[in-house]
Amino acid sequence: MLDVNGAATIRGSLTLPATAAATATAGKDSQPLNLVASSYNSTSVAAVSQVFRWQAEPTANDTATPSGTLNLLYGQGTAGPTETGLKLSSKGVFTFAPGQTFPGGAPSASRRPAVSAVVARLSSRQALRCQRRTRAHRGRASRRPLPRSS
């Protein structure tokens, strides 16, 4: 076990491998990355650990297209971290916790298409800005205006 008191610099990738090799019966999670905060509880008059855990987890085990997700878990005090519902698929798609609300107050399930549309719109605007900067930087700024996104 490496125990560092102070800063550390890792020159290269830091790998947290699976806890074991997958079998046809079960996939295996990655080793966890725990981030621990400490909050003071005035009722118990004690510090209480707040543990956030990132962990890669297998999906579609024992299929032709096995995959995985990156999941956020949370635990307080001596309780082990449990799933929060927030995860990122191997395709870059976020799944939000049940009951998650977004601006406007709608729950996550009914807002997913709207959130995707906003992200797509922002991405196309950023791409247009990048094109404009690139053209101007190269000294070949086009005289014709770029199409405006709505």
Separation CA 79–CA 72 (nearest Å): 15
Neighbouring C-beta atoms of residue 68, cutoff 10 Å? 19
Q: Judge contact between 92 and 119, C-beta under 8 A.
A: no
**pTM: predicted TM-score of the whole model, two decimal places:** 0.67
| Local structure of residue 138 (DSSP, 8 states) | T
Q: How far apart are CA 82 and CA 51, in angstroms?
A: 10
Assess whether pLDDT exceeds 90 at residue 73: yes
Mean pLDDT of 122-150: 57
**How would residue 103 be classed by pLDDT, with cut points 50, 70 and 90?**
confident
User: d(Cα 129, Cα 33) in Å, to the nearest integer?
Assistant: 36
pLDDT value, residue 109 = 56
Binned at pLDDT 50, 70 and 90, residue 141 comes out as very low
pLDDT of residue 84: 96
pLDDT digits (tens, 9 = 90+) for 17-67: 999 999 999 999 999 999 999 999 999 999 999 999 999 999 999 999 999
Decide: residue 87, CB within 10 A, 0-12 exposed, 13-18 middle, 19+ buried: buried
**Predicted local confidence at residue 100, as pLDDT:** 86
Tokens of 47: 């510090």
Q: How confident is the model at residue 108 (pLDDT cuts 50, 70, 90)?
A: low
- How far is residue 149's CA from residue 91's CA, in Å, rounded to a whole number? 26
Q: Which residue has the tokens 């519902």?
A: 85
Both structure tokens of 127: 């791409």
